[in-house]
Structure 1
């Protein structure tokens, strides 16, 4: 998306203080963090070159320069990879609508064999594509329209939101940080651009978090949820990349066996009306 490189660099140099990199601050600073000329000096490039890079009008930038800037701005591995992506985007032909995302039959069967833990697959734009019976009991995917089966929309617009997540702010930040990565990987995705636009218009929280320019892979963690039937759940989760389907991830909640949350999930499973698992999102 236009301006991503400059916005990202400005946000990252804004969080680095001169003393953090061995510089002495001189004079009054109008904005927090490092100045552009300081980043250029520490990275070993000319000030003009760095300014043009931050303004998105520089030449093709080398790995060495990007590595130097990443070092100065203290980027982590995910941020470093994101910098390379937005500095050298690979435009794809813009199409009115991308082909529907599909989950191959073998993955649906795999989901269905996981009967003691909620599991689901999401794809581009964090659209939920398939799920098992316990994930449906937990999240109610089968009761939603295809458009509603989207994680950002559920967090910011259509879902129970803050009532569902005791740590809503962390969930919201994680969601936006992953959506940022998705946008960088496919900047010409018209549906993703429309989603970001819709969320920006309708949610002040989304606008604030999007402007913060955080980026983060979805790998593992712990999600706390308030379920209307069984109450509070503490659910560790693992996210698995699917070989052969680089745009799809499987999320599996893994509560500790014998824990209160595991017992509550078992209770939820016994109370739930059986539904057809792994139903596609369209």
Structure 2
């Protein structure tokens, strides 16, 4: 079982298991605010708990910033293993493997200023999983191969030297969203009523096409995305927004903005200064 809003790093392997290993995959729906439907999960566990091999629910969503009730999922799961993709949350919000109670938790260096291609799998010691790679038996014989020591050290250094101020970033996000709603009154923030990460804002601009908006924003020297940053340039509606109840049209009228540790108030104000013109031009293009 996985949530309908998982990153493709979880979604695609799960679907591969269906196609190649005969697994049954059940996707946990989410509310219009992007939170997993705990009532659905509870009912399914009561009815089919003995058949469920794994539940995977991400800690926070990379497109909307919505933070999932993972600890509640764990309580409902009982003895069923629970995995959480916490890549987006690490160093941004409080995150405790012990307090969550999950079986496994995944992190990645590139989200905290570390190098690409290095990550962490926190796995309960008493739990055994099949080897991913065979060879020298490194990493508890799960992933053999000489350890990438420079990247491991760089990952640790990035975490130790993190200067991410969550309160400051959240204030910038709120400043941006207030400005958006002030200048484009019919725009709306996706997931606004759920707990969210400090720096992600996903906004729907009715009557526009996100691909056109993306190009127009880029021409104004403002970087944003039509969905997951790693799928920028892929012309399809966001599966996350569709799961939250969007139509293909409204899902493709949405942009994802991110604030980071180096974002300033002047950056926010500049983005807001060009937004009305961009939206007007985008709506004019969409009406042709």
- The answer to whether the superposition gives a TM-score over 0.5 is no
Range class of TM-score, shorter chain: under 0.3
Structure with greater helix percent: 1
Q: Please give the TM-score of this superposition, normalised by the length of structure 1.
A: 0.27
Structure with the larger RCO, 1 or 2 (CA within 8 Å, 6+ apart): 1
- Give the greater-gyration-radius structure (CA): 1
The TM-score normalised by the length of structure 2 is 0.26
